[in-house]
Amino acid sequence: MEALTQLQLAFDAVLGLALLWLAWQTLASPELFRAIVLFIAFGLLMALAWVRLEAPDVALAEAAIGAGLTGALLLTALSRLEPKNKSKIPHSKKPESEVDE
C-alpha cells in the first residue's frame, strides 16, 4: 500500500509541476504560435489532472474543448491576425531554420 501511494504522489507531483511550468511558459512566450502549442499541451495535461482528481467528466470536457477546439480556434485566429501583426511585433529573436545543428 505504502509504495502505491508514493507512486501516485510522485505522479501527481510531476503532473502538478509540469502544469505550473507549462502555464508559465505559455504566458511568457513572446511567440504566439509557440504559446498556442504550449496551450494545447497544457490542456492535455490539465485533462490528466482532472482524471487524477476523479472527475472524468470534466476531463472529457477539458480534452474536447480545452485542448481540441480552443487549440484549433486559436490557430485559426492566429492565421487571421498574423499579416497585421507582422510589422509591429517581432516574432522571435533569431529567424527559424529547418536544421538545428
Partner 1 sequence: MSVSDIITTILLIAGAAFFLVGTVGLLRFPDVYTRLHALTKADNVGLGLMVAGLALQAESWAVVGKLLLIWCLVLLAGASVAHLVTVVARQRGIKLWKR
Partner 2 sequence: MFMEMLYIGMALFLLLTLVAGLWRILRGPTAADRMLAAQLFGTTAVACLLLLAQALEQPPLRDVALVFALLAVVAAVAFVRRAWVADRETEE
Residues that bind partner 1 (CB under 8 A): 98-101
Q: Which is nearer to partner 1, 54 or 100 (CB)?
A: 100
Please state whether 54 falls in left (phi above 0), alpha (psi between -120 and 50) or beta. left
Point out which residues bind partner 2 (CB under 8 A): 1, 3-4, 7-8, 10-11, 14-15, 18, 22, 25, 33-34, 36-38, 40-41, 44-45, 47-48, 51-52, 54, 56-57, 59-60, 63-64, 67-69, 71-73, 75-76, 78-83, 86, 91-92, 95-100
Cβ atoms of 13 and 55 closer than 8 Å: no
C-beta of 88: minimal distance to partner 2 in Å? 14
Residue 28: which of partner 1, partner 2, none does it interact with, CB under 5 to 8 A by kind?
A: none
Contacts within 8 Å (CB) and 24+ apart, 13-20: 15/45, 15/48, 15/49, 15/52, 16/49, 18/45, 19/45, 19/46, 19/49
